[in-house]
Amino acid sequence: MERAAVYDNELNLKATELRLGLPGADESEKQSSRNNKRSSAEMDDSRDKDEQESAPAPKAQVVGWPPVRSYRKNILHQKNESDLSGIFVKVSMDGAPYLRKIDLKVYINYQDLLKALENMFKCSIGVYSEREGYDGSEFAPTYEDKDGDWMLVGDVPWDMFITSCKRLRIMKGSEAKGLGCL
Amino acid sequence: MQVVWLRSSLALRDLQAFIQHTVVYCKMDPKLKKTKNSSSNSANSPDSTHSSFPFPDEVLERVLSFLHSHKDRSSVSLVCKDWYNAERWTRTKLFIGNCYSVSPEIVARRFPRIKSVTLKGKPRFSDFNLVPQHWGADVHSWLVVFAKVYPFLEELRLKRMTLNDESLKFLATSFPGFKALSLLSCEGFSTDGLKAIATHCKNLTELDIQENGMDDLGGGWLSCFSENCSSLEVLNFASLNSEVSFDALEKLVRRCKSLRILKVNKSITLDQLQQLLVLAPQLIELGTGSFQQELTPLQYEGLGIAFSNCKNLQTLSGFWEDTSLHLPVLYAACPSLTFLNLSYATLRSGELAKIVAHSPNIRRLWVLDTVGDKGLEAVGSSCPFLEELRVFPADPFEQDLHHGVTEAGFLAVSHGCRKLHYVLYFCRQMTNAAVATIVQNCPDFTHFRLCIMNPGERDYLTNEPMDEAFGAVVKTCTNLQRLALSGLLTDLTFEYIGKYAKNLEALSVAFAGSSDGGMQCVLQGCPKLRKLEIRDCPFGNAALLSGIEKYETMRSLWMSACNVTMSACKLLAKEMPRLNVEVMRDEGSDESQADKVYIYRTVAGPRRDAPPFVVTL
CB contact under 8 A, A38 and B215: yes
CB contact under 8 A, A64 and B214: no
Q: Closest Cα partner for B570 from B590, B600, B603, B545?
A: B545
For B398, name the nearest residue in chain A, comparing CA atoms only: A56
What backbone torsions phi and psi does residue B533 show, to the nearest 5 degrees? -125, 130
Name every chain B residue with its beta carbon within 8 A of the beta carbon of A63. 128-130
Name every chain A residue with its beta carbon within 8 A of the beta carbon of B395. 76, 80
Model pLDDT, residue A7? 41
CA separation for the pair B61, B85 (Å, rounded): 9
Model pLDDT, residue B383? 97
CB contact under 8 A, A79 and B127: no
CA separation for the pair A150, B477 (Å, rounded): 64
Whether B130 contacts chain A with CB within 8 A: yes
Model-wide pTM > 0.90: no
Model pLDDT, residue B11? 57
What is the amino acid identity at position B2?
Q
For B536, name the nearest residue in chain A, comparing CA atoms only: A62
For A66, name the nearest residue in chain B, comparing CA atoms only: B453
Option in A66, A70, A79 nearest B129 (CB): A70
Provide the pairing of β-strand B261-263 with B234-236.
parallel
Cα angle B242-B200-A71, degrees, rounded to a multiple of 5: 35
Q: Which one of B125, B127, B129, B161 would you mutate to disrupt binding with A, by most A Cβ within 10 Å of its Cβ?
A: B129
Closest Cα of chain B to A65: distance in Å? 7
Option in B346, B397, B511 nearest A79 (CB): B346
Walking along chain B (617 residues) 10 residues at a time, the average pLDDT comes out as 56 61 53 42 43 68 83 86 87 95 96 96 95 95 97 97 96 97 96 96 96 90 94 96 93 97 92 94 93 80 93 92 75 94 90 95 96 96 98 84 87 98 97 98 98 95 98 98 98 98 98 96 97 97 96 96 95 95 89 94 95 91
Whether B510 contacts chain A with CB within 8 A: yes
CB contact under 8 A, A79 and B241: no
State the pLDDT confidence band at A131, using cuts at 50, 70 and 90: confident
Option in A40, A61, A83 nearest B213 (CB): A40
Q: Which one of A33, A46, A61, A76 would you mutate to disrupt binding with B, by most B Cβ within 10 Å of its Cβ?
A: A76
CB contact under 8 A, A64 and B396: no
Model pLDDT, residue A62? 84
CA separation for the pair B120, B160 (Å, rounded): 6
CB contact under 8 A, B396 and A68: yes
For B162, name the nearest residue in chain A, comparing CA atoms only: A41
- Please report the number of interchain residue pairs, chain A to chain B, with beta-carbon separation below 8 angstroms: 86
Q: Which of residues 427-466 of B touch A (CB under 8 A)?
A: 451, 453-455
Closest Cα of chain B to A157: distance in Å? 22
Name every chain B residue with its beta carbon within 8 A of the beta carbon of A58. 399
Whether B214 contacts chain A with CB within 8 A: yes
The residue that leads in pLDDT, A133 or B416, is B416
Largest CA distance in chain A: 57
Q: Which stretch of DSSP H or E encloses residue B118? A: strand B116-120
Whether B186 contacts chain A with CB within 8 A: no
CB contact under 8 A, A64 and B129: yes
pLDDT tens, A169-179?
998 877 766 55
Whether B131 contacts chain A with CB within 8 A: no
CB contact under 8 A, B394 and A76: yes
DSSP state of B159: E
Option in B185, B399, B536 nearest A56 (CB): B399
Residue B494, Cβ density class (10 Å: 0-12 exposed, 13-18 middle, ≥19 buried): buried
Name every chain A residue with its beta carbon within 8 A of the beta carbon of B129. 44-45, 48, 63-64, 70
Cα angle A34-A36-A42, degrees, rounded to a multiple of 5: 125
Q: Are B432 and B472 within 8 A, CB to CB? A: yes
pLDDT tens, A21-57?
455 444 433 333 333 333 343 333 444 444 334 434 4
Helices (H), chain A: 13-16, 41-53, 70-83, 110-121, 158-164, 173-176
Residues of chain A whose beta carbon is less than 8 angstroms from a beta carbon of chain B are 37-42, 44-45, 48, 51, 56, 58-59, 61-73, 75-76, 79-80, 83
Model pLDDT, residue B14? 64
Q: Which one of B133, B397, B587, B596 would you mutate to disrupt binding with A, by most A Cβ within 10 Å of its Cβ?
A: B397
CB contact under 8 A, A65 and B128: yes
Residue B29, Cβ density class (10 Å: 0-12 exposed, 13-18 middle, ≥19 buried): exposed
CB contact under 8 A, A64 and B130: yes
Name every chain B residue with its beta carbon within 8 A of the beta carbon of A76. 344, 394-396
Name every chain A residue with its beta carbon within 8 A of the beta carbon of B133. 41-42, 45
Provide the pairing of β-strand B213-215 with B187-190.
parallel
CA separation for the pair B614, B617 (Å, rounded): 10
Option in B133, B393, B394 nearest A42 (CB): B133
Model pLDDT, residue A11? 47
3-state secondary structure of B222: helix
What is the amino acid identity at position B384?
P
Closest Cα of chain A to B128: distance in Å? 4
Name every chain A residue with its beta carbon within 8 A of the beta carbon of B454. 59
Contacts of B283 (CB under 8 A, 6+ apart): B259, B260, B261, B262, B277, B310, B312, B313
Please say if the pLDDT value at position A84 is more than 60. no
CB contact under 8 A, B129 and A63: yes
CB contact under 8 A, A70 and B127: yes
Option in A39, A61, A79 nearest B322 (CB): A79
Whether B535 contacts chain A with CB within 8 A: yes
Interface pTM (ipTM) of the complex? 0.84
CB contact under 8 A, A83 and B211: no
For B486, name the nearest residue in chain A, comparing CA atoms only: A66
By percentage, how much of chain A surpasses pLDDT 70? 59
Model pLDDT, residue A103? 84
Model pLDDT, residue B22? 60
Name every chain A residue with its beta carbon within 8 A of the beta carbon of B239. 39, 71
Whether B507 contacts chain A with CB within 8 A: no
State the pLDDT confidence band at A83, using cuts at 50, 70 and 90: low
Core vs surface per residue B238-248: b (16+ CB within 10 A) or e? bbbbbebebeb
Give the torsion sign (CA, B446, B452, B457, B462).
Answer: negative
State chain B's mean pLDDT as an integer.
Answer: 90
CB contact under 8 A, B510 and A75: no
Cα angle B142-B161-B122, degrees, rounded to a multiple of 5: 115
Whether B215 contacts chain A with CB within 8 A: yes
